[in-house]
Structure 1
Amino acid sequence: MEDNIFARIVRGEIPCHKVWEDEKHLAFLDIRPVQPGHTLVIAKADGDYLFDLEPQRYGELMQAVRTVARLLKERTGCQRVVEVVLGYEVPHAHVHLIPTHSMADLPPILGTPADPAELATLAARLRQGA
C-alpha cells in the first residue's frame, strides 16, 4: 500500500477540499493552485505512473477527469479547463485540471523553436518499429 500524500488523503489521514468523488476516484483542490479552482483528480487505488495503469483503469480515470472538468467549467464560468499531467511531483497517478480564461492564466509552458533537421531525425527514430 502506498504511503504518499495522495494515498493518505484517500485513507482520510490528511484532509482535503473535496469537490467530487465516486467509488474509484477523488477530486480535490490543489493546495498550490495555478488558478482558482485548480483541481487534482486521482485514482483511489494505488498506481504510480499514469501510463502504466491497466487500460480499463486508465479509461475510468479519464472519464472521471472529464466529469470533473465539466463541473469546473460550469461552476467557475471559465472559458476552458486545461488538463495537465506531470507525473513526478507525487508518485500516485493523477491529473491536474486548471480553469482558465486564456493562455495568460498558465505559467510559461512553451519551449524554444527546434531545429527542423533535429525534429526530422527524432521523428524518424520514434517511427521505427511503429
Structure 2
Amino acid sequence: MSSIFTKIINREIPAHIVAEDANYIAFLDIMPLCKGHVLVVPKKEVDYIFDLDDETLAGLHVFSKKVAKAIDKTIPCTRVGVAIIGLEVPHVHVHLVPLRTMDDINFTRAKLKLSQEELKAIAEQIKKGF
C-alpha cells in the first residue's frame, strides 16, 4: 500500500509543494510545529532512512539544504532545524523547522492548525526563496 507521501508525489492527494525535482519533493507539513515547517521526501518509497542507498541518502540531504536555504531567506527564524524521526509515516522524510528557540522543534507540543489559505501563502513565500 502506498504511503501518504507517495500519494502526494503521485498527485493523488493535494499538498502545498515548495520544491521538486526528479528524485525529491518538499511540501509543507499540514500539522506544523511552526509556520514554514517543511517535509522533504525522496520519491523512492523507503521506510527507514538508513535503508536508502548512498546516492539517494546523499541527494536527500543536498536537496534538503536547498529547501532549508529558501526557508531561511523567507521565514523569520534564527536558523532551520533538522529532524529525522521516521515513526509517523512509513516513508523517509526530513523535517525542516524554522527555529527561534529550542522548543520550536519539540514534537511533543501541540501542532499549529493553519487554514489552507495560510498554508498556501507560506508555500508561495518559501518558493520565492529559490
Among all aligned residue pairs of Structure 1 and Structure 2, give the percentage whose two residues are the same amino acid.
41
The answer to whether the 8 A contact 2:33-2:107 is kept is no
Residues of 2 paired with 1:94 and 1:107: CA distance? 17
Q: Max radius of gyration: which structure?
A: 1
Give the 3 Å change call, closer, same or farther, for CA 52–34 of structure 1 in structure 2.
same
**Following the alignment from structure 1 to structure 2, what is the Cα–Cα distance between the partners of residues 94 and 19?**
15
Give the unaligned 5+ runs of structure 1: 110-130
Deviation per residue, 1:78-122 (Å, 9 max, x gap) = 11100001111101111000001121323278xxxxxxxxxxxxx
Between the aligned partners of 1:40 and 1:32, the Cα distance in structure 2 is 11
Gaps of 5+ in 2: 109-130
What's the TM-score once normalised by structure 1's chain length? 0.78
Partner of 1:101: 100
Give the whole-Å Cα distance in 1 for the aligned partners of 2:36 and 2:75.
7
Please name the residue that 1:45 is paired with. Answer: 44
Shift of 1:75: 0.8
Supply the AA of the counterpart residue of 1:98.
V
Correspondence 1:54 to 2:83: no
Q: CA RMSD in A?
A: 1.4
Q: 1:96 & 1:108 partners in 2: Cα distance? A: 11
Count of paired positions: 108
Deviations 1:22-66 (A, max 9, x none): 111100000110000000000011211111101111000010111
Q: What amino acid is the match of 1:30?
A: D
Q: Which position in structure 1 is the counterpart of 2:33?
A: 34
Secondary structure at 1:13 match in 2: coil
Residue matched to 2:17: 18
Distance 1:73 1:21 in 2: 18
Verify: 1:86 aligned to 2:85, yes or no.
yes
Give 3-state SS (helix, strand or coil) of 2:97's partner. strand
Equivalent-residue separation in structure 2 for 1:48 and 1:106 (angstroms): 22
- Structure 1 runs (4+) deviating above 3 angstroms are none
Cα distance in 2 for residues equivalent to 1:49 and 1:108: 19
Structure having greater relative contact order (Cα 8 Å, sep ≥ 6): 2
